[in-house]
Chain A
Amino acid sequence: MTQRIKFYQTGTLTVGNRLLDAENRSVQSTIDRSNSLTSGHRACQGCGEALGARYVVDTAMREADKKLVAVNATGCLEVFSTPYPESSWQVAWMHSLFGNAPAVATGVAAALRAKGREDIKVLAQGGDGGTVDIGFGCLSGMFERNDDVLYVCYDNEAYMNTGVQRSGQTPPTARTATTPTSGGSKGNVFGQGKNAPQIAMAHDIPYVATATVADLHDLENKVTKAMGLSGARYIHVSVPCPLGWGSQPCDTVRLARLATETGLFPLFEAEHGAVTNATKIRRKVPIEEYLRPQRRFAHLFKPKPDVEALAAIQAIADRNILKYGLLG
C-alpha cells in the first residue's frame, strides 16, 4: 500500500520520516550511520551544537565513505566530547588550539595530498568564537588558498564554553557575561555585525551555506552537497544554546526554527561568491516570538517593552528578508 506523503511529513518538520523512500531518509535514521559523536559525552541537555555536530559528522562520514579526518577548535564541542579518559568521537579526530582549526585542517589536507591519499576528506569544525573571532585569520587563509577542507561553524552566538561571553556573533541587545544588563545597560551594542557567511563568500570559495538544527534534512543536504565539492567550503550552522540563551532545553529546535522564520538567520547557499538558493520563509514570524523565550533578551520586555530596540532588531530581520528574498 502506498501512502501519499503530505508536505508536512517530509523535509523540515520531520526527522525520522519512515514514510519517505529509503534514499530520501536522513542519515541519522539509517541503521548504518557512523555514530561519529556517540553517547556518553557531556553536553548540556538540549545542546544545539551536539545535535548539529552529530548530523554534520555522520553525513560527512557517509559522503566520504568513512574516510574522514576531523579537526576541532577548542570550545564546548571539544571539551564535552574529549575529557580524558573518554572520547565520544568515532572518527579520526584532532584538537589543537582555539584559533587554528582551519590551519590544522589545511595541514592535514596537505599531508594527505603529499601521501596521495586525497580519497580521505578533511572536516574542520569550531564554535563561533573559534571560527569568526580568534580563528578568523586562519579561516580566511584557508579560504583564500582554497584548501580542500569543509569548515563547519556551530554558531551559538557567544563564548559558551568559558561562561557566555560576547563574541563577534552575539546579536545586538543580547545579555552575556561581558555585556550585562545591569545599571540600565541594554546588553550587547548595535554594531555593524560580522556576517561570516558573506565574508566567506567574498573569498569566492566553491560553497558557502547556512543551516540550522531546526531543519536537519536541510543541514544534511548541505553537508552532502559540500562534501561533493572540493576546495574550501563553509557551512555556518545556527545552534541554540539553552545555557547561554536562557532558553528551555526543549526549545532548542523551536528557537532555531524561529531564528529562520523571523528572518534573523536566513538560510541560503552560495557558490563561488553568488547566492544560488535561499530558503523561503513559510510564515513570517515577528521577532518578539523568537526573543521572548530567551532570558538573554528578557530586558527588552521587562519592566516595559523596549520599543526602540525591538524595532531595530525587527529592521535587521526585515533587511535580511529583503536582501535574500525570503518571502513569496
Chain B
Amino acid sequence: MLRQMEGSHAVAEAIALCRPEVICAYPITPQTHIVERLSELVQEGEIGNCQYINVESEFAALSVAIGASAAGARAYTATSSQGLLFMTEAVYNASGLGLPIVMTIGNRAIGAPINIWNDHSDSMALRDAGWIQLYAETNQDAVDLHIQAFRLAEQLSVPVMVCEDGFILTHAYERVDMPDLNQVQAYLPPFEPVQILDPADPVTIGAMVGPEAFAEVRYLAHHKHLQAVEVIPQLASEFAKIFGRDSGGLIQQYRSEDAETVIVALGSVVGTIRDVVDEMRDDGVSIGAVKVISFRPFPMLALRAALENAKRVIVVEKAFADGLGGIAVNSVRMALRGLTTPIYTIIAGLGGRAITKASLLRAFGEATRDELDDPHFLDLNWTVIDHELARAKEKRRSGPIAENVLRDLGLVGGKPV
C-alpha cells in the first residue's frame, strides 16, 4: 500500500511486520523515531506478544538482544553514532556467537565535536565487526532491506545492520509502498535458531576458545560472509517475486554499463548522484553510477564486473580515515586489483553537510578531465582551514578548534556574532 510517511515510521512498521519477539530500545538521535513508533505498535498490540525493553544503555540494548536471540527469539534494536560505539563489544559478541540480530543504524557522525547529523563514520567504524551491512538509498529501500535482513540473518545465523542516513532518510517524509503482513509472512518464515538455550536440550554457548581453534572459528565467520555474497542476490530475486519490485541485492547499476566514468557510492547520496549523472549524460558525458547495497560482505566480483570497462572510477563516501583518505575506496581498489583504472575519492557530507548537485557536477567534471585531487574533500572551506592552521602555528594554546571555526564562519551557538 502506497503511503506518505516518515522514514523512521516506515522502518518501524516494516520491523513490526517482521514480527520481532524482543525489541530493545535506547534513545539516540536520529534513530529515536523508529523505536518510539515501535513502542506504540507494541503497546497497541500490533506485534503480538513482542517484548519491548527500555534499557539503560546501548551496550545493554544489544546485550538484551543477544540474550533474547540466544533464547530463540527474533530480536531487534536500533542505534546511531556514539550508541553504536558504546555497544561495540557486544556488536562483536553477537557476530562471534552467530546470533541473527537485526539492527538499524541511523547513520550519524561521531564526536567530538558532538554532531547529530548524518555521515557514515559510525557504521564504517564497525564495518569489520562480523556483521553484514546493507545501505539504504531511499526509505523504500530501508523498508525492503529490513525485511530481507531478517531472512538473511536467520538463514545464515549472522547479525545484520541496515544502515540508513540519519535525518536524510529517517526524518524524511516520502512515498513508501508498505507491504502487507501476508507478503512478509510468505517471505520470512518463523525463526528457527541453529542454537538455543533450551533446558530440555541444554548446551553451553560462549565457550572460551584458545589458539587451537580460534582461527577456525574466525574463518567460519568469514565463510558465512562468502555465503552471504551468494545468498543476497537470491533473496533479492525471491523478494521481487513476492513484493513485485527490485530491491536489495549486492549492487545496483545506473547508466553505468557503457560509462567511461563510473561513480560508486553508498546510501542516500546515490539519489543525488543519479540526478547528476542524468544531467551530465544530457551534456554528453559518458558517466554512470553504481550503488553498493551490501558493503559487508563486499561484492568483489559483481563490482569488478560493473567497473572493469570504466576509464575512471569515482568513489563518493561519507567517512574517511585520518591521514589516509576514503574507507570504501579501499574495498573498491581491492575489487579492481590488477587493473590500472584511476580511482578518485570524494569525501562528502561529513557531519550532515549538504551534498549539492552543483558541487558534485563540479567535482565529477574535474574528475572526468582527470583534474581532481585525491582524496577530494567536497566543499571544504579552505579559508577557515588555512586560518586555523596559521593560528595554531602562531600560538600553542590557540583555543578550541570547533569554536574557532564557528567564529571564523561568523557563527557561535548558531547565532551570528
Chain B proximity mask over A74-113: 1 for CB below 8 Å, otherwise 0: 0000110011110101111111110110011111111111
Contact check: which of B22, B24, B207 meets A82 at CB < 8 Å?
A: B207
CB-contacts of A278-307 with B (<8 A): none
Q: B51-82: which residues lie under 8 A (CB-CB) from chain A?
A: 51, 53-57, 59-61, 63-73, 75
Q: Are A83 and B208 in contact (CB under 8 A)?
A: yes
Residue count of chain A within 8 Å CB distance of chain B: 46
Are A114 and B51 in contact (CB-based, < 8 A)?
A: yes
CA distance A116 to B56 in the complex (A): 25
Distance in Å: Cβ of A300 to nearest Cβ of chain B:
36
Nearest CB in chain B: distance from A53 CB, A: 14
* A103 and B59 contacting across the interface, CB-CB below 8 Å: yes
**Are the C-beta atoms of A138 and B63 separated by less than 8 Å?**
yes
A66 to B50 Cα, complex, angstroms = 26
Among B55, B204, B208, point to the contact of A103 (Cβ < 8 A): B55
Q: How far is the CA of A127 from the CA of B67 in the complex (A)?
A: 19
Looking at the complex, which one of B60, B202, B205, B206 makes contact with A137 (CB distance below 8 Å)? B60
**Cβ A96 vs Cβ B67 within 8 A:** yes
Asked whether any CB of chain A lies closer than 8 Å to the CB of B97, the reply is: yes
Given contacts A78-B208, A107-B75, A111-B68, contact A99 B59 (CB under 8 A): yes
Of the candidates B59, B93, B97, the one whose C-beta lies within 8 Å of that of A138 is: B59
Q: Within 8 Å CB of B93, what residues of A?
A: 96-97
Select which of A64, A103, A108, A116 is within 8 A of B60 by beta carbon: A103
Given contacts A79-B208, A96-B90, A96-B93, contact A111 B75 (CB under 8 A): yes
CB distance from B306 to the nearest CB of A (A): 40
Would A103 and B205 count as touching, CB distance under 8 A? no
Given known contacts A111-B75, A141-B55, A103 and B67 CB-to-CB distance under 8 angstroms: yes
A67 CB within 8 Å of chain B: yes
A145 to B97 alpha-carbon distance, docked (Å) = 26
- Decide if B6 is an interface residue (CB 8 Å cutoff): no
Tell me whether A97 and B53 are in contact in the complex, defined as CB-CB below 8 angstroms, given that A69-B71, A84-B213 are known contacts: no
Q: Which of B69, B89, B208 touches A107 (beta carbons < 8 Å)?
A: B69
Q: Does B125 contact A (CB under 8 A)?
A: no
Nearest chain A CB to B111's CB is how many angstroms away? Answer: 21
Let me know if B21 is at the binding interface, CB within 8 A.
yes
Q: Which B residue sits closest to A144, measured CB to CB?
A: B56
Select from chain A the residue with minimum beta-carbon distance to B208: A83
The answer to whether B398 has its CB under 8 Å from any CB of chain A is no
User: What is the distance, in angstroms, from B239's C-beta to the closest C-beta of chain A?
Assistant: 26
> Which B residues are in CB contact (< 8 Å) with A140?
56
CB <8 Å contact, B90 and A100: yes
Task: Give B26's nearest chain A residue, CB to CB.
Answer: A141
Bound together, the chains give a CA A145 to CA B52 distance in angstroms of 12
Asked if A208 is at the interface (CB within 8 A of a chain B CB), the reply is no
B206 close to A96 (CB less than 8 A): yes
Are A69 and B204 touching (Cβ within 8 A)? no
B359 within 8 A of A: no
Residues in B neighbouring A120, C-beta threshold 8 A: 199
Which residues of chain A have C-beta atoms less than 8 A from B53's C-beta?
A: 106-107, 110, 145
Q: Once the chains bind, are A89 and B24 in contact (CB under 8 Å)?
A: no
Interface status of A115 (Cβ within 8 A of chain B): yes
Closest chain B CB from A62 CB (angstroms): 13
B207 touches A87 (CB 8 A): yes
Kindly state whether residue A253 has any CB partner on chain B within 8 Å: no
Given B22, B203, B210, which contacts A111 in the complex, CB threshold below 8 Å? B22
Whether the pair A93, B204 counts as a contact (CB closer than 8 A) is: yes
Q: How far is the CA of A110 from the CA of B21 in the complex (A)?
A: 8
B384 within 8 A of A: no
Q: Which of B49, B66, B71, B209 has the most CB of A within 10 A?
A: B71
Q: Which residues of chain B are near A138, meaning CB under 8 Å?
A: 56-57, 59-60, 63
Q: Are A106 and B205 in contact (CB under 8 A)?
A: no
Give min CB distance, B35 to chain A, whole Å: 15
Contact B202 A90 (CB under 8 A): yes
Task: Please determine whether A71 and B56 come into contact, CB atoms closer than 8 angstroms.
Answer: no
**A68 interface residue, CB < 8 Å from B?**
yes
B406 within 8 A of A: no
* Cα distance A71–B198 in the bound complex, in angstroms: 12
Cβ–Cβ contact B204 & A104, under 8 A: no
Given contacts A94-B197, A138-B63, is CB(A111)–CB(B71) below 8 Å? yes
A96 & B97 in contact (Cβ 8 Å cutoff): yes
Q: Could you tell me if A108 and B57 are in contact, using CB atoms closer than 8 angstroms? A: no
Judge whether A115 and B54 touch: CB under 8 Å: no
Closest chain B CB from A215 CB (angstroms): 28
- List 8 contacting pairs A-B, 8 Å CB cutoff, sorted by A: A84-B213, A92-B198, A93-B202, A96-B67, A107-B64, A108-B67, A108-B197, A110-B53
Interface residues in chain A, defined as those with a beta carbon under 8 Å from any beta carbon in chain B: 64, 66-69, 71-72, 78-79, 82-85, 87, 89-97, 99-100, 103-116, 120, 137-138, 140-141, 144-145
List of 7 A-B pairs having minimum Cβ-Cβ separation, nearest first:
A107-B67, A111-B73, A103-B63, A141-B56, A95-B206, A100-B63, A111-B71
| Further pairs besides A96-B90, A111-B70: 5, Cβ < 8 Å | A71-B67, A100-B90, A103-B59, A107-B22, A115-B49
